[in-house]
Structure 1
């Protein structure tokens, strides 16, 4: 338990397989978590439902990366209960400025409709949270994130825990031992999340269906 966590210590924790969360937005203290079962999305097993493929194919949205990082974090924290408190906002801002925290945004009609953010180390993307202000926006964000990770050489997408929403898209639970083995392998890679541009909807779907 701590309320004085530095960006460097946070990164060190992720490299060891642990992550911090707060009990609530108003509680300044952070707690380290090391669950026995860890949620991940195997990048080669990502599932796109027919209904989501239809949404993506329609293409009535725009995708960006790191264009509204703080806005995405705020969107993720904008709920009745959240584990993102003031100290974490500060840490995420610091990590984003240092090039370790990234966001992917979904825009519709000029508004931020949804997004996802996380922290990167080597070939690991530690997904922190995602949100939607319009139907399916978080699913679209996760789909484009998985494509970006595949194209830039990442091997691990950590979701910390899984939800029915994530499980429907291919998320699974692995043991702590298996997770740490996957993490150790991912940390040996050198990957650049910022390289490349978001593909056109049809190109995205073709790539995802060819490798899933």
Structure 2
């Protein structure tokens, strides 16, 4: 099957309207451009994100339905709460963002090659500019899990997570949901529903619903302390 895609103009940051995205494959919108901070932020502002395999051109997506978490509705399983109380894991925010991005790329299966070195550099640069943030889970002084994503006002656009020890990524998400809600965060975008995010309580909404929420919430601010480097917990459940 031949697919015809708009190719982005390298000299401006315009994207096609998300409503023009293909149904098959779901959400494929455009190709080309670059991974500059300006283009990435323009994409996220419009409900679009990059996702492509090693050796392919840059591909841009806006799927429907869209998978999201509502932070104040996240309910950790009793077994996860019990595990965390006994684990001694500690959770932080923005204390090792470059390491989280790198490990999200290195620890993916061989067939999932989208988070290559160019993508890692792009998100690390966004972190340096203050737009990309991470949550880290530690066992003693060892980084064992985490997640990262892009801030858009009261929306957090989750990009990837990793886990080297049992439940580490689940704990990262749980504690971030609590923290984000406490600092006026309203929505966490996780792009496409998969078995892992579904098991954690992600739900699906239509593209128009997501874009309407994004259009409003990206103009609203979380509290200033939300993304300051800090410990979210010292390993004890509250």
Q: Deviation at 1:202? A: 2.7
Over aligned residues, Cα RMSD in angstroms? 1.6
Number of matched residues?
A: 201
Structure 2 residue 49 is matched with structure 1 residue 14: no
The yes-or-no answer on 1:40 pairing with 2:68 is yes
Out of 168, 171, 175, the residue aligned to residue 140 of structure 1 is 171
Give the secondary structure class of the aligned counterpart of 1:138.
helix
Residue 202 (structure 1) aligned with residue 207 (structure 2)? no
Q: Which has the larger radius of gyration?
A: 2
**Unaligned 5+ residue runs, structure 1?**
204-212
Q: Does 1:97 align with 2:128?
A: yes
1:186 and 1:58 map into 2 onto residues whose CA distance is: 37
TM-score with structure 1 setting the length: 0.89
Are 1:165 and 2:196 matched, yes or no? yes
Any idea what SS the aligned residue of 2:32 has?
coil
Q: Does 1:69 align with 2:100?
A: no
1:23 to 53, 57, 63: 53
SS in 1 for 2:147: strand
Contact 1:42/1:156, CA 8 A, preserved across alignment: yes
Deviation, structure 1 residue 42: 1.4
Structure with more helix by fraction: 1
| Distance in 2, Cα, partners of 1:82 & 1:107 | 25
In the alignment, what sits opposite 1:54?
A: 82
SS of equivalent to 1:165? helix
TM-superposed deviation, 1:199: 3.8
Question: Does the 8 A contact of 2:91 with 2:231 survive in 1?
Answer: no
What SS is found at the alignment partner of 2:237?
helix
| Aligned residues of 1:63 and 1:105 also touching (Cα < 8 A) | yes
Q: Which runs of 5+ in 2 are unaligned?
A: 1-30
